[in-house]
Every structure is written in C-alpha cells, then in structure tokens.
Chain A
C-alpha cells in the first residue's frame, strides 16, 4: 500500500521535474537532463536482459551504435526524425533477434564475451563499410534551423519520453508472465525449463525489447549531436556504464536503474568537472567499491523486488 503511494509520488515528482526543466531551464541544464534521461533509458533497457533475466550483456554499445547509424542514415535520406528513431528501434530489435539466436544459447561468462564481441564486430563493420556508413569519416546530419534552446528542449523531450516509455515497459514486463519467466531463468534456467517455461522465447523477448530501447536512445543521441563516427557510438564504455548504473541502484528491480542512473550521473558530472587527470581512476575506484560492498545495489534490498 505504501509502496504504491511511493511510486505515485515518485512518478509525479519526476514528471514535475521534467516539465520544470522544459519550461524554465537553459540549454546547458537541458543538455544535462537529456543525458540523464538517456542514461535512465539505457540502464532500464539493460536491466531487462541483464538484471531481470540475469544474462550479463555487454552488447548495449552495439545496439546504441546500430540505432545511431540507422537513425542518422534514414534522416539523411529525408525521413522525419521521430519516424527515423522508431525505425532505428525496429532495426535494433531485428538485429537482436538474429544475433540472439546465436548468442543466447550461451550462459554466464561465455554470453558476456559473445556480447562484447558483437560490439567489436559491429564497430568494425561500420568502420569498413565506407559506402554505406562513411566509414571512419562518419556521418553528418544537416543542422536544424531552430534556436538552440528550442533544439535543446526538443531532444530533452525526446529522451525523456523514451525514458518514461522504457520504465513503463519495464514495469509492465516485471508484472507480467514474461517478468516471472525472466526471474525463473535468472534463478535456475534448467529448472525453469522443467516448469514448462519457454526460456528461449523469454530470453529473446527480453533481449529484443532491451535493444529496441537502446537503439532508439542511440538514434536520438545521434540526431542531437549532428555527427557520429564508429568509435564514438560503439564505445565500450556505453556498455559498461549502464551495467554500473543498474548495479548501483539494484539490478533486477524497476526503480534500481533509475536511481542508479541519477546517482551515477551526478557523480560523473562532478568528477569530470573537477578531477580532470584522475577522473577515470576515481570512476574505477567507485566501481570497485560498489561491486565489492553493494553488489545488489543501494536499493536492491530495502524495497521489494518486483516493484522497486
């Protein structure tokens, strides 16, 4: 009962904050908000396959980059933005379906490595297929003619809507049969099979939904910076950060990735601004401390599993 109240309160607060940013904040704050929304979307997306299903996926960067390229290349051909973003999500999900057929047979470490390898392969393909992707020289988008404040608002709204969608999907999955199946898979996949669960279908569904969200985030990101190249959008850190965020907040829960993303974002921005030469060491130390002392996440134990 009190949980529902907390959720309702949190949702209202979040919507309020988003609207507040939209109406009163300047371009810089909006940009920060956009990054936060993107992080929330990515962490929530990863959580579906990595947290709920227990499959430690490092493929986030692969689908992010894929979405970025799919979105950009269609936009270059004249497709309107929102349509391009949706197309990117569809492309990411389709590729996930194909790759998942091979990669989801593996478990544990092997799955992690395979997902990591997928990132590298896609990155190299993007770099070498110069005819399609411009190769190492990247792709540029024509600049929008509106004011920078209007643009900042547009992209913030887009990422925020995506983040909200991702959380909604996550909630829906958590309470559905799919969520139950994923939980069983996470705990003991063989036993789950004995219960009559089609583990294959469940895993693939989670993987595809996760990559669709990630792909859309990538496409919106690409539209907002107007120029992408393979090493930027297929950066392995894009795979690792959502994992850390979800772990920080509590992998497997719905609110965990959101809280983890927010906390991580604050830490990242303050560290980057103030400790230039040692920032990656600090990030690393943070990561180690989190993994060692709070592997279930800050909120993983206190709030109930399914909801928070």
Chain B
C-alpha cells in the first residue's frame, strides 16, 4: 500500500509504537479479509443484452421521425468480423440498404434502450420482435419513439404473442395521455380476444373514463367473444 520511502519511515515508527502496531495488524487482517468476500456474479441476461445492444448499434437505428422511418446502415467491413460466433442476434440482417458513412449514427438516438428496442422490433423474426418489446418495457417513460413503435406493434404485428407483450409494455408509458387514447383506438380495431382482454385490463389500470362508451359497446356486442364481453362488463363496473 505504501511506497518505498514512506514504507521505511513507517516501519521505523511501528517499531516504537505498540498501539500503532496493533492497529496495523488489525487493519492488515481486515485488508486481507476483504479478499475473502465472495464475488458477486451478474445474472444470465447481461451477456445477451450486450450482444443485442451491439447488434442494434451496428445496424444503426436512428429514428428522427416517429414510427417507421428507420434508417439502416451497414458496416460492411465489420461484417467480416461478425462471422466467428460472437453472439446471438448480432449478425447483420439481410434486408438493408447500401452502406453509408460508418460514423453516421445519428445523435438523435436518445439512449441505448431505445436503440435496441426499435431495432429489434423491426426484425423479421417474431422471436426477435418479442425481445424488442421486452427492451421497450425498460425504455424511458417519456420516449415517444418507443411508444409509437409499441402502439404500432399492438395494431399491426402479425404475431399474437408480440401484440400481447406490446400491450403489456404500454404500461410503462401510463403517464402519457397518448397511451390511453391509443389503447382505446386499438380496442375498437382488434379482433383477437386475448389482445382485447389485455387492452381492457390496461384501460382499467389507466383509469381512463373515456373508455366507457367503447366498453359498453363491446359488452353488448353479440358477436364478440364471451370472455371479452364479460371482461368489458367487469371493466365498466371498475371504472364507475
């Protein structure tokens, strides 16, 4: 701990001072013991998330406009490096536009989670889009790009499980007035009962009084699924 010259002075002092000697010995023991403390290990997801982030970064999602106008770029040179199994979700995707300047990552990418969420939610694989929704769940509640992407997923994603997960992720954005409106609009267009139920639950949690007319319509709609109608009824009562 102490350097050369200081060490010598220190040693001389110790020779004459017993209480100091004791103290040094105690501290020395403590110092040694610190080494014995077991080390914390990070959980299983850290590595995966890192590779997701790296993959998304390399695809260069930069969303200046809300929703779909994502610009892609491709690090052609680096693509060669991708090869040797450096991680999952990390390979450069096939459907990209010609490469632009490598350094051209737009600074509007507010933060990492937005980057990864938006990137993954655009993938062809439903499993990847599902992961994207998980990332969206951890974005900033004020992040309108991600909110837009989630609403789009709820309304248009081909996979029911992705839509379900997206409804859930909307809870993160409960503070935003747009969320309730989007959920309500979505409810009137959805035809999958599980998603309808999830949206109804969300509207109840958001305590959105404007949902009442639509819920009333649903609960009275003979052609709607029984479970959905009951849920709508329950929701109406909760919202009174």
A complexed with B: no
